[in-house]
């Protein structure tokens, strides 16, 4: 019999990581695969941030740090919230972790009891569902419509809340859709939450800086619910620091302490060097991010321009992040040149990997089985080539 726990058996492997693995296998065999399956900036971490890490090493800053982060960094995060989001937090409300991913897991494990319902705005980021499962909660996907750029409405939320609802979870800007909630929409969601005082929200703002519409609104800005909102953010996307592993959350002091307690038993504080790098990143402001955003915007427009001529792709215009998420169900039921049938988006993404040598992720993993996610965080010429190939391969179906 397998020694593995029921908890583990119930868990899915991260679909994006699985796709990246297949992609690497093909590359190792010599195929010229263009990998658009990863949610990773292709930019280097800015030099001033790397310099701070080198300095930390030279300073011998190599010891354990406090579990919720070094005091200067927690203060700098409070300063950032004030500067960018008009949110007033004290350092004891900030928990620094090994990435937004850990911050999300800390919050879910701190709040969710077995049987609690977690309303997950769908399409959602792959790990939300699995985190809820780990906490033995029940995830309740709430699906936005294509016409509304997949954004869940306040009316939908109102209808989905039950006595068992503990938490709602969403990302804005959204991975995978690129949708951004505006002030009016979040205000309406806050008004629904205000009527249901047992409901908390986990707002994932990791793509905050990668925003093409300008205004980023935090749910915590609405005073009637701010005490019940946990805001998650990090350095991976805005500062191109995926490998450093640095993220954070801000919450009411009792919730922040709970997250610290969980983290203290699992990982302790994140890497000391990384925290010094993060401190430099925040002190440097967001100029480096703003430069990257211009590139992401150019690439989004480049890709949308090709994709609009692909028959059967229905692609909302992303307002942020670095993905496109076309609805592709027009291809379901078609026959590939080898005689096989494309039943679903998993078949279609496999076909594109094998025929176009372009790797993307099937929408199933995001709760949207009729869609496919392509990352647009790649060099312009690679993107043009990738979507040229995708278009040619789809024409054979
Ligand atoms: N949240 C969303 C929506 C993401 O897309 C990602 C990374 O892909 C994360 C969180 C995790 O970020 P981090 O690298 O900070 O753990």
* 11 CA → ligand 1 middle, Å: 18
Cα distance between residue 99 and residue 245, in whole Å: 5
pLDDT at 19 over 80: no
pLDDT band at 120 (very low <50, low <70, confident <90, very high): very high
Domain shared by 276 and 323, yes or no: no
Mean pLDDT (whole number) for 132-137: 95
Which protein residue has the closest C-alpha to ligand 1 atom 5?
A: 175
Domain enclosing residue 224, as ranges: 63-285
pLDDT at 341 over 90: yes
Domain shared by 375 and 313, yes or no: yes
DSSP letter at 353?
Answer: I
H or E segment to which residue 171 belongs: strand 165-171
* 100 CA → ligand 1 middle, Å: 5
User: Of 4-8, 135-139, 192-196, which range is least confident?
Assistant: 4-8
Q: Which of 236, 247, 322, 375 to mutate to test the pocket of ligand 1 (most atoms within 8 A of CB)?
A: 236
Domain shared by 134 and 212, yes or no: yes
pLDDT band at 328 (very low <50, low <70, confident <90, very high): very high
pLDDT band at 325 (very low <50, low <70, confident <90, very high): very high
Cα distance between residue 379 and residue 320, in whole Å: 18
Cα distance between residue 342 and residue 350, in whole Å: 9
Q: Which residue blocks in 112-182 are alpha helix, DSSP H?
A: 127-134, 154-160
Q: Which of the listed residues 242, 266, 285 is the one where a domain comes to its end?
A: 285
Domain shared by 153 and 230, yes or no: yes
In a domain, 174, yes or no: yes
pLDDT band at 42 (very low <50, low <70, confident <90, very high): confident
pLDDT band at 12 (very low <50, low <70, confident <90, very high): confident
Domain shared by 29 and 72, yes or no: no
In a domain, 1, yes or no: no
Domain shared by 255 and 300, yes or no: no
Query: Across all residues in the chain, what is the average pLDDT?
Result: 95
Kindly state the percentage of the chain with pLDDT values over 90: 90
Q: Which of the listed residues 252, 268, 285 is the one where a domain comes to its end?
A: 285
In a domain, 218, yes or no: yes
Q: Which of the listed residues 285, 316, 350 is the one where a domain comes to its end?
A: 285
Domain shared by 353 and 259, yes or no: no
Domain shared by 249 and 302, yes or no: no
Query: Is 219 exposed, middle or buried (CB count within 10 Å of its CB: 0-12, 13-18, 19+)?
Result: buried
Domain shared by 262 and 301, yes or no: no
* 334 CA → ligand 1 middle, Å: 34
Domain shared by 201 and 70, yes or no: yes
Q: How many independent structural domains does the chain possess?
A: 2
pLDDT band at 17 (very low <50, low <70, confident <90, very high): confident
Task: Read off the CATH number of the domain in which 378 is found.
Answer: 3.90.1150.10
Mean pLDDT (whole number) for 5-34: 84
* 103 CA → ligand 1 middle, Å: 10
pLDDT 10s digits, 242-283: 999 999 999 999 999 999 999 999 999 999 999 999 999 999
Task: Read off the CATH number of the domain in which 180 is found.
Answer: 3.40.640.10
DSSP codes, 223-275: TTTGGGEEEEEESTTTTT-GGG--EEEE--HHHHHHHHHHHHHHT-S--HHHH
Cα dist. 326→112, 147, 165, 288, 377 in Å? 33, 12, 31, 29, 16
Contact 118, 167 (CB under 8 A): yes
Domain shared by 84 and 189, yes or no: yes
For the CA atoms of 142, 343, 8, 375, the dihedral, rounded to the nearest 10 degrees, stands at -70
In a domain, 254, yes or no: yes
Residues having CB within 6 Å of any atom of ligand 1? 39, 99-101, 125, 171, 175, 204, 206, 234, 236, 242, 247
pLDDT score of 307: 95
pLDDT 10s digits, 85-102: 999 999 999 999 999 999
Domain shared by 251 and 281, yes or no: yes
pLDDT score of 313: 96
In a domain, 208, yes or no: yes
CA-321 nearest atom, ligand 1 = 5
**Hey, what are 77's tokens?**
């995060």
In a domain, 58, yes or no: no
In a domain, 153, yes or no: yes
Cα distance between residue 235 and residue 218, in whole Å: 17
Cis before residue 123, ω within 30 degrees of 0?
Answer: yes
In a domain, 189, yes or no: yes
CA-171 nearest atom, ligand 1 = 3
């Amino acid at each position: 019999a397998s020694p593995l726990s029921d908890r583990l058996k119930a868990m899915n492997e991260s679909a994006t990581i699985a796709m990246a693995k297949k992609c690497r296998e093909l590359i190792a065999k010599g195929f010229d695969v263009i990998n658009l399956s990863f949610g990773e900036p292709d930019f280097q971490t800015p030099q001033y941030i790397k310099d701070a890490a080198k300095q930390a090493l030279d300073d011998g800053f190599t010891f354990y740090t406090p579990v919720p982060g070094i005091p200067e960094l927690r203060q700098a995060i409070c300063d950032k919230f004030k500067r960018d989001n008009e949110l007033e937090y004290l350092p004891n409300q900030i928990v620094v972790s090994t990435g937004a991913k850990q911050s999300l897991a800390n919050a879910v494990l701190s709040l969710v009891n077995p049987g609690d319902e977690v309303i997950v705005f769908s399409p959602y980021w792959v790990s939300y569902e699995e985190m809820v499962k780990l906490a033995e909660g029940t995830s309740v996907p709430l699906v936005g419509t294509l016409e509304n750029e997949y954004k869940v409405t306040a009316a939908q939320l109102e209808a989905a809340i039950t006595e068992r609802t503990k938490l709602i979870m969403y990302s804005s800007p959204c991975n995978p859709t690129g949708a951004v909630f505006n002030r009016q929409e979040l205000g309406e969601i806050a008004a629904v939450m205000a009527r249901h005082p047992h409901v908390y929200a986990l707002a994932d703002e990791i793509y905050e800086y990668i925003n093409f519409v300008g205004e980023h609104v935090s749910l915590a800005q609405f005073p009637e619910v701010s005490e019940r909102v946990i805001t998650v953010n990090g350095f991976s996307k805005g500062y191109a620091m995926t490998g450093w592993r640095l993220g954070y959350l801000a919450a009411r002091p009792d919730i922040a302490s709970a997250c610290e307690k969980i983290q203290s038993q699992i990982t302790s504080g994140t890497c000391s060097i990384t925290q010094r790098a993060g401190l430099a990143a925040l002190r440097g402001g967001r100029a480096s991010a703003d430069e990257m955003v211009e590139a992401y915007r150019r690439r989004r427009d480049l890709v949308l321009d090709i994709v609009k001529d692909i028959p059967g792709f229905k692609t909302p215009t992303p307002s942020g992040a670095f993905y496109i998420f076309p609805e592709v169900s027009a291809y379901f039921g078609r026959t590939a040149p080898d005689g096989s049938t494309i039943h679903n988006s998993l078949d279609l993404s496999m076909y594109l990997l094998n025929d176009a040598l372009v790797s993307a992720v099937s929408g199933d993993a995001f709760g949207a089985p009729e869609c496919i996610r392509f990352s647009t965080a790649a060099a312009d010429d690679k993107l043009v080539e990738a979507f040229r190939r995708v278009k040619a391969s789809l024409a054979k179906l």
